[in-house]
Amino acid sequence: MRNSSNMLDFSAIKKAAQSHEAAMTKFLRDLIRLPGESCAEKEVAARIVKEMKKTGFDSAGIDKMGNAIGYMGKGKTLIAIDGHIDTVGVGNRDNWKFDPYEGYESKTEIGGRGASDQLGGIVSAVYGAKIMKDLKLLNDRYKIMVTGTVQEEDCDGLCWEYIIKECKIKPEFVVLTEPTDGKIARGQRGRMEIRVEVKGISCHGSAPERGDNAIFKMGEILAEVKALNNKLKKDPFLGKGTLTVSQIYFSSPSRCAVADMCAISIDRRLTWGETYQSALKEISALPKVKKYKAKVSMYKYSEPSYTGLVYPIDCYFPTWVIPENARPARAMVKAYEGIAALPNGKATVDKWTFSTNGVSIMGRNKIPCIGFGPGKENQAHAPNEKTWKADLVRCAAVYAALPNIYLQEK
């Protein structure tokens, strides 16, 4: 598989990937037909393990959390390719032009919930490993681990906290197969989920002056929270930290009474240099938060996986970035440029806007991540979601080429 210049035979890899387009299309459409929101991925995981066994993985199975994990090769260096297998719901069906679970297929596209976010990624990962084996790219220096991970949409990175901490598995680096719009991603902003709660005193609504309306208090706090968004830190690469109020709650004896509690949830996106401590401090320091003695806290996630396993964690998902000249990044650029006929011959190295499992792998555990996946970021969580067959093929080929290039890098 090498020519006289000691480089991979990219044309053979591309040809092999193209030969699997029909099989990858069928596999992806099968996955789309199996609804698998967070904590309900059982059938999706089983279908992935079935495909791993069919394509010749040395071993494939499901761990106690419900992650589908397969291995190919016997080498010492462990390289992982990760794709989360849960999806969000479909929302308002009236916004869909087709059945989101039956999906559709054209000459170039595959539609359906999860097509881009991110069932296509696990499909390309499985077939990338198959190509490695079929073309004898596997050697005694590395071993490939393909993970179809659960609960990412509810709690990104939780699956990998379990894999790293409880299963004691630590790859040398991880390829994240979230959609990258034909680019390479080397980082993302972090995020956290904040709750702000203020108390009041209820009374009959006919005499509101007798009580202390928690909703009115929260109204003043909301104005300060909104203004804070414009003052948050900006990083040259990752961009600005942001916040938005995503939910609001209240308690009141009735619709004819003054509210005695009001709470909001804040979706806080963290740029480089921001931490959960600094973000909580910013909210706690707001004048109206202090005036009304509002409680500021971070949410905790403790929902059971589909296997029943509960693995509690704070809802803090750290920012992460690897340098552009880091070994996994350099190897990915060379693999992509070798496989793809890029207009200017150069890969674009960028970042994700949304969050990924890298918050655990790199953010918490300092295992380098590099991102490259089929589909487009703007398809994530959107109605009429789709991906492109050419992306599935190209990504499978890039994944197949990557490990040997990585091992050649110094």
Query: If you ran DSSP here, which 8-state letter would residue 87 be given?
Result: B
Q: Measured between alpha carbons, how far is 273 from 268 in angstroms, rounded to an integer?
A: 14
| Residue count of the chain | 410
**Can you spell out the DSSP letters for 33-82?**
TS--BTT--HHHHHHHHHHHHHTT-SEEEE-TT--EEEEE---SEEEEEE
DSSP label of 212: B
Cα distances from 310 to residues 148, 151, 182, 284, in angstroms, run: 18, 11, 36, 30
Instruction: Please list the active-site residues.
Output: 86, 152
Helix (H) or strand (E) holding 125: helix 120-134
Helix (H, G, I), strand (E, B) or coil at 360: helix
* Helix 389-408 × helix 327-339 angle, to 10°: 130
Q: Which single residue is written with the structure tokens 């007798």?
A: 210
Per-residue exposure over 225-241, b if at least 16 CB sit within 10 Å of its own CB, e if not? beebbeebeebeebeeb
Q: What is the DSSP letter of 209?
A: G
Tokens of 183: 């680019």
Return the C-alpha torsion angle 374, 375, 378, 382, nearest 10.
-120
**Closest of 370, 324, 368 to residue 346, by C-alpha:** 324
The residue written with tokens 């010492």 in the block is: 76
Rounded CA gap, 369 and 356, in Å?
Answer: 10
Phi/psi for 246 (5° steps) reads: -105, -25
Asked if omega into 118 is within 30° of 0 (cis), the reply is yes
